Amino acid sequence: MVRHGETAWNKENKLCGWFNAPSSKKGIQEALAADQTLKRKGYQFDTAHTSVLTRVQHTLKVILEEIEQSSLPVEKTLRLRGIVKHLDKLSDEATMGINLPNRITFVYELDDNLKPIKCMQFLGD
């Protein structure tokens, strides 16, 4: 799973949610870094799932072009949601430990049945 890069709103420390904020210049660079990592590690996919938001589709397009899978079937849906807020002065490790009010950890690695296994590591780790 890859999250889109920084948005113009993230840069201002605003929660984007379902607002269709575009990627910032940094966000575009983050997408390029993710696609290069996926290519270097040799990832290949059967299908892709994405939100209908422009920033997310742009990130996917950049990645699929880099890993030479532009013709991959893509499922676009409103059902992919994230509760993510850009938080100042927190390390990646601290962000991973944040618990939401409903006591669900921020990001999980999922098993084949989409059940949480452990707190997710960032792609660059």
pLDDT per residue as tens digits for the range 100-124: 444 444 455 566 766 666 655 444 4
**pLDDT tens-digit profile of 44-78?**
999 998 888 888 888 888 889 989 999 999 988 76
What value does the mean pLDDT of the chain take? 72
68 appears as a binding residue in the annotation: no
pLDDT of residue 72: 93
- 40 annotated as ligand-binding: no
Question: Is 7 marked within a binding site?
Answer: yes
83 has pLDDT over 70? no
Q: In the chain, what are the domain boundaries?
A: 1-86, 88-125
Question: Is 66 among the annotated ligand-binding positions?
Answer: no
Write the CA distances from 18 to 35, 49, 54, 76, integer angstroms. 24, 17, 11, 14
pTM (2 d.p.): 0.57
Tell me if 3 is assigned to a ligand binding site.
Answer: yes
What CATH number is given for 1-86 in this structure? 3.40.50.1240
